[in-house]
Structures are given as C-alpha cells and as structure tokens.
Amino acid sequence: MAFGLTDRGERGVLKEYFGTTSLTMTIYNDSTDKLSDTDNTGDITTEPEGSTYTRSSIDSGDITVSTVNGDAELSVAAKAFDVSDSTQNVDGYAFIDSNGDLVHRGPIDTSDRETDYINLDQNDDILLGGEPIVLG
C-alpha cells in the first residue's frame, strides 16, 4: 500500500507555496559556493557583482504547476539578467523568498555549451527559465 500526497496534493503544495510567496531568482557559481540544504542566502558569495545586475522577481503569473509522470512539477517563466558589466562564471540559480531565505537551488542547463558554466564576461544578458522543481 502506498501512502503520501496524491498528484492533486503534490500540485497543491507547490501552488500554495510558490504561487503565493514573493520570490526572487538569482544566479551564482555553485562550484565555488557548494550550497547544501542547510545553507541560506548569506552563503551565496558568487552572485554577479556588476552594477547592472539585479535579482529577478517571480510572481504567481510566472508559475505553472502540472503533473508529469505522476509527479507534481513546477516551472517558472524565463527570466532575464543584465550581466553586461559582470565577469565571473555562473552555473547555478536559486530562489529566495520575501524573508530573504534560500528556498530552492538548481543547476543552469549548459548542455548547449562547451563548458559546464556560463562565463558572464562573454554575455550581456542571460535568459533562464530554471529547471523544473519536481515533488514526487
């Protein structure tokens, strides 16, 4: 016998938390920061340092929750980051809630690149949608 959240319950949890919470998205270098489940926003030391860079806001209209292969999956609309005067490398993204707490982190998809990071010195803008968050 299997117990736990049903597909509807999984979707409800994701919608309730991510759909009603004010979030921001940032990019950083996880190869350097090596964040874990117990880390928080203050442990991110590699956000872009350029004067044009800001975290991107995520609102409820940016969130889509669906069921994929029996698991609830949350997707976030693509977000742009101005990194025109930043020079470091990034390989991860993170969601930060309105209290400033780190609530999710994930890898930046670099499968179309020769490296496993994005060199900001070679980019003026980055457009990220984030990998789906799966609750199974």
What percent of the chain stands above pLDDT 70?
A: 92
* DSSP letter assigned to residue 1: -
DSSP labels for 27-52?
EE-HHHH---TT--GGG---S---TT
What percent of the chain stands above pLDDT 90?
A: 36
Task: Determine phi and psi for 47, rounding to 5 degrees.
Answer: -60, 150
Residue 20 has a pLDDT of 67
Residue 45 has a pLDDT of 97
Average pLDDT, the chain: 85
The three-state secondary structure class of 78 is: coil
Range from 5-14, 57-66, 90-99 that averages highest in pLDDT: 90-99
Q: What does the pLDDT look like over 16-58, one tens digit per residue?
A: 777 767 889 999 999 999 999 999 999 999 999 989 999 999 8
Residue 13 above 90 pLDDT? Answer: no
Residue 1 above 60 pLDDT? Answer: no
The token pair that represents 123 in the structure block: 């980019």
Residue 135 has a pLDDT of 62
- What is the 3 state secondary structure string of the chain? CCCCCCHHHHHHHHHHHHHHCCEEEEEECHHHHCCCCCCCHHHCCCCCCCCCCCCEEECHHHEEEEEECCEEEEEECCEEEECCCCCCEECEEEEEECCCCEEEEEECCCCCCCCCCEEHHHCCEEEECCCCEEEC
Residue 136 has a pLDDT of 53
